[in-house]
Chains A and B, each alone.
Chain A
């Protein structure tokens, strides 16, 4: 499809396990964001990529969280040793240029449940 694609759409994992969340941005988009949306909360910024570089990773909540982007395209958000408080919807967004120049396009998110 032409939009931002995230997989899986739902993930249930046991506390302490590692998970990987994938984001396929719109082709040609250089900027990519990860956000977290907890139940009833707003969107919490996690990390921003421009190409394969992450000029802003200030939102990653702990060293259990990491993200990478390869080939200026697909990004993976990894959460190690998951905790129950990690349960949330993880949203990915991309934009064609620098984020100030245009709007961001969002995927439908990955709903992560840690049990």
Chain B
């Protein structure tokens, strides 16, 4: 069985602060992929990143960065210098080679206060 846990239900930070969204996953497969999606108020999930289990190198894309640590089964997402437009629900998800359905966490609602 596979599982994704996002322990933070809601986070509020003041604009320009940095914020980290936590994601912990469980799987017995050795080949798997991790994702982050953003769901703005419009409702459509927007893909942010896909990372495979063999690549633990951290990734940075503008103000976004991701820290993948297999030792702790975590794939955390950091937004630097947050902006109001970052306000959304963020979902972490997992898919494995042996089970081809995306398993999502329950999401973290991020509110950036102007």
Q: Which A residues have a C-beta under 8 Å from some C-beta of B?
A: 31, 33, 35, 41-43, 45, 48, 55-56, 59, 89, 91, 93, 98-100, 102-109
Contacts and interface: CB of A to CB of B under 8 A. Distances in A.
A89 B41 CA distance: 13
Which 6 A-B pairs give the minimum distances between C-beta atoms? A42-B106, A106-B45, A43-B104, A108-B44, A103-B47, A99-B100
Interface of B is mostly: strand
A45 B102 contact: yes
A43 to B, nearest CB: 4
Chain B interface size, under 10 / 10 to 19 / 20 to 34 / 35 or more:
20 to 34
B96 A108 contact: no
A35 B36 CA distance: 16
A6 B43 CA distance: 12
Given A91-B45, A105-B47, A108-B43, A98 B100 contact: yes
